[in-house]
Chain A
């Protein structure tokens, strides 16, 4: 009989499933970053003058910044001059439908289990697929455009809806926000753009699959979602990446704007290459995600399931500007082997009677470090603001760590702020009980972990929840003590 210890270690040893590189000719800029790089990116994308000016301003600001090191993370310094800032699959013209898409791309999607064609018809999900920084296929466009919904790549939005872009770009995450947001503003290559017109309820989940492909290409996605008055949209973001042995930087920015009575639900399943069991390779995921409840009675919900990346540094936040606005953050962060995650949220209460809920579940195994860092800030005018925070950590084995840094600042004495936290271990008793009922260790661990995360998982859209459940089990192959 093997010891449960060993069994769990074995479980965590499972290879990364999505480790493959598609061979497609890439149109890649040489490594390095200077003003010319930015002009080149902007020119390649045929951008209007305001975009170039905006990028240059951000670059100028970024040049004078230092990389932040306050997070509970350790990594070798990033050489920003060794990164290539643009890589796009070569093509003559944009594809008009799937038949014009490079068959190799389709093959990649199939390997990932996202057959685009079937997805169109079966899942009812419109996919704006980002492959190596450029969007290659957008589906369901017609159906959405009947409703006046704009769902396209960021580049298309810049070409076709420059006024909307100019009005909202950087209005939630300005280039001055932080080091990585400034870098993103300067060099971002593509991303998604969504606009839901007043009173429209988007009839399907909008979904983008991000995928980093070309070797050593930093990815700088930019997503902007605007829900106009009384509008509703649910957006899914899912990520996988090919296996490789050098670190890759990913510094995305996501901006959400909810106007009066509008609602945005943003769900992420993040499964980028986490590095091998010795901590070699893996993605550096330094992301700035923020939503602004700009109008009264608006609502923004973030749900994230973070299982990938060598390093995760992200704090999807909500600025609760409108009266009676609602912000939610549901998170599962799972780290194994040498993965490090420093993640959490910021809820900034400005509007009267604004409400926020934070449910964060951290799971660490192996030698991983998992940190929750959150800020609940209530400004003086936020009469009757209310926050509930719950942070739970689950430890597997004796070499991992869980850390919680909750910051609370309240300037209004009518505010009510609650914080609950717990730390637990998967107990041998639970494992033995399940084993005695015939369930092997691997499935038992997966069952216990999914139970631990239930409150978060149930906020995910159905099709995503299934994938996320599997992912949690998979990511833990190899981790209890």
Chain B
């Protein structure tokens, strides 16, 4: 499902990944461990397409699609989700608005109709119930003033939804 072969990547001409090979099949759960600075976050960022990282060699395929030419949002549409270590705050933008825009961006990519506000609310409320999150989450600005735990929970909500 995810095939990484001989992947080399660098940031500002400093090589970080030097020939990573990884093959993950559908349904498998993998944990990557290693000391600080060994490139775990770099690998995640490279997969997601962060522009500061440059792939110098090797290939990455997700469901047989070459990831390298794709922009971060296109990779996200394929189903690649990166839970952030430090989720970013976006002042003035409500969680609800972000979630709805993200879901609709994905639906548009899949050729589905955009979902309206009422249907969206019922879907998101269902997911929030699973995570025991109350409604106020929706109307707060994205990650603004969230505690560490709230931010992580919010990431999981996004993961469930998208």
Contact = CB atoms under 8 A, between A and B. Distances in A.
A246 interface: no
Contacts of B48: 432, 436
A451 B94 CA distance: 8
Interface stretch (A1-9, A21-29, A383-391): A1-9
Given A4-B51, A439-B101, A432 B92 contact: no
Given A432-B72, A447-B98, A437 B162 contact: yes
Interface string B136-152: 00000100000000000
Interface residues of A, number: 27
A438 interface: yes
Contacts, number: 85
B76 A437 contact: yes
Interface in A402-455: 427-430, 432-441, 443, 447-448, 450-455
Given A429-B88, A443-B101, 15 more contacts: A3-B51, A432-B51, A432-B88, A433-B88, A435-B72, A436-B48, A436-B73, A436-B75, A436-B76, A436-B81, A439-B101, A440-B71, A447-B98, A448-B93, A454-B92
Contacts of A429: 88
Contacts of A454: 92-93
Given A1-B49, A1-B69, A438-B73, A451 B105 contact: no
B10 to A, nearest CB: 15
Interface string A442-481: 0100011011111100000000000000000000000000
27 contacts: A1-B51, A428-B52, A429-B88, A432-B88, A433-B87, A433-B90, A434-B98, A435-B71, A435-B72, A436-B73, A436-B82, A436-B84, A437-B76, A437-B98, A437-B102, A437-B162, A438-B73, A438-B77, A438-B109, A439-B98, A439-B101, A441-B73, A443-B101, A451-B92, A453-B92, A454-B92, A455-B92
A441 B71 CA distance: 10
Contacts of B84: 433, 436
B88 A430 contact: yes
B97 A447 contact: yes
B46 to A, nearest CB: 12
Given A447-B93, A451-B93, A452-B91, A428 B101 contact: no
B8 interface: no
B19 to A, nearest CB: 22
Chain A CB within 10 Å, residue with most, of B49, B90, B141:
B90
Contacts of A435: 49, 71-73, 76
B117 to A, nearest CB: 14
Interface of A: 1-4, 427-430, 432-441, 443, 447-448, 450-455
A210 B50 CA distance: 45
B47 to A, nearest CB: 10
Interface of B: 48-52, 68-73, 75-77, 81-82, 84, 87-88, 90-93, 97-98, 101-102, 105-106, 109, 141, 158, 162
A1 B72 CA distance: 9
Contacts of B50: 432
Contacts of A439: 73, 98, 101-102, 105
Contacts of A455: 92
A399 to B, nearest CB: 20
B101 A447 contact: yes
A61 B76 CA distance: 65
A270 B91 CA distance: 25
B150 to A, nearest CB: 16
A15 to B, nearest CB: 23
A441 B73 CA distance: 8
B106 A451 contact: no
Given A437-B158, A439-B105, A1 B88 contact: no
A440 B141 contact: no
A200 B91 CA distance: 39
